[in-house]
Amino acid sequence: MTLQSIEPPFGKNQSLHKSPKIVLLVIFTLVFLTVIPCYPLLKYPLYLVNNYSEPSSFYDSNDELISVQSINEKCDLFSGEWIPNPDAPFYTNTTCWAIHEHQNCMKYGRPDSEFMKWRWKPHECNLPIFNPAQFLEVVRGKSLAFVGDSVGRNQMQSLICLLSRVEYPIDVSYTPDESFKRWRYMSYNFTLATFWTPHLVKGKEADNNGPTHTGLFNLYLDEFDEEWTTQVEEFDYLILSAGHWFFRPMVYYENHQIVGCHYCLLDNVTDLTMYYGYRKAFRTAFKAINSLKNYKGITFLRTFAPSHFENGLWNQGGNCVRTKPFRSNEMKLEDQNLELYMAQVEEFRKAEKEGKKKGLRYRLLDTTQAMLLRPDGHPSRYGHWPHENVTLYNDCVHWCLPGPIDTWSDFLLEMLKREGVRSHQEKLQYLSDRKLQAR
């Protein structure tokens, strides 16, 4: 269609010759809206999703920069395989200052680099590689908090490194305590925060040695950890996670009374296993979120990421020396990993159902299967210099940066891009349910 053939949107008895400026303005507007469509629910133009300027000289972008509407929303993102990605990594340990020393594998001499060169491929669709400019547009004016342990911090540092291709944040923390950090992306008015809470509930170390020389912790399974529950009401997104601290000895309290423990070896105290405490901790954490008066955000549960110790336990010489991912038919989620996964997902579903009554949204960031297949992605002994006089075990829990954990941001961005449509549908359902209840 040529410009001359476009019929102007006004009455037949109005003359084109009498209003040439109006006609030109209308024609320009129609062309502009045709060329640059807007995504109505996320409220930003698609050209910002599909294109962005190269932010730094070291970034050679071969990302799949596709529109938010081009991914099959019914595709299961979390069922798939790892496939080679020769373009990775998209940052290095020399270009990102946010990498924790114990996850800075290349700095400390890891000899192989292939573990950085894989991407996750869902069975039914393609998962786009993380686009930092796209992510920052999606979260413009918003805030995101990581609530959990050091693996949650590992995820946040991965995200900061991925975003560093566009912008670095400034520290706007309220406290010098490194366990509670806040970062601000000034150009986007986007805030990142981390809240350290390894057990999610109120707890304290009762004995820094304990039966396994890793400490003995008192967990108050029915009490909120107010270090984070009093701070997150303002956030637009919460990413909740917990896991590996529950392997340590614990004494469980409910209603201010000891009800049992996990490997505490105390007289007349029943061993209820770690699964009891794990389930109750998530139940209480979700209860805390659902009880927040003014919280309107979206809560993501980032599911348990298994460790990969072989040939011994973590404190008995166990290590992770593999250099390639498993195929999905080579590993099965079972035993402790399966029990922990099922416990948190079951509590998530209960909380999601309860939260819907208040119009709250819950999302499952299901990283478990993908990370089960990545025994090659851990620091092992490459988190410090060999000659350092330190007592550090082989680390098969955290993840090298760059490394497989960067894929969690691929998942997160795709979920956020889908969120506009899904939230709109859920809001309509919520309003419909409210109307039915009022009758």
**What is the full DSSP assignment across 292-360?**
-SS---EEEEE-------BSS-TTTT-B----SPPPTTT----HHHHHHHHHHHHHHHHHHHHHHTTT-
Catalytic residue among 149, 222, 376, 395: 395
> In the numeric block, which tokens belong to residue 390?
């330190």
Helix axis angle, 273-291 relative to 335-356, nearest 10°? 20
The distance of Cα 75 from the centroid of its chain, to the nearest Å, equals: 19
State yes or no: is 123 an active-site residue: no
> In the numeric block, which tokens belong to residue 380?
């092992």
State yes or no: is 179 an active-site residue: no
Catalytic residue among 143, 150, 380, 409: 150
Alpha-carbon distance of 105 to 107, in angstroms, equals 6
Q: Is 189 left (phi over 0), alpha (psi -120 to 50) or beta?
A: left
> In the numeric block, which tokens belong to residue 432?
């419909």
Written as one letter, the residue type at 132 is: P
DSSP run (H or E) holding 252:
strand 250-254
Catalytic residue among 199, 244, 308, 398: 398
State yes or no: is 150 an active-site residue: yes
Alpha-carbon distance of 381 to 78, in angstroms, equals 29
| Residue 324: partners with Cβ closer than 8 Å, 6 or more residues away | 114, 115, 376
Alpha-carbon distance of 96 to 160, in angstroms, equals 8
Residues recognised as catalytic: 150, 395, 398
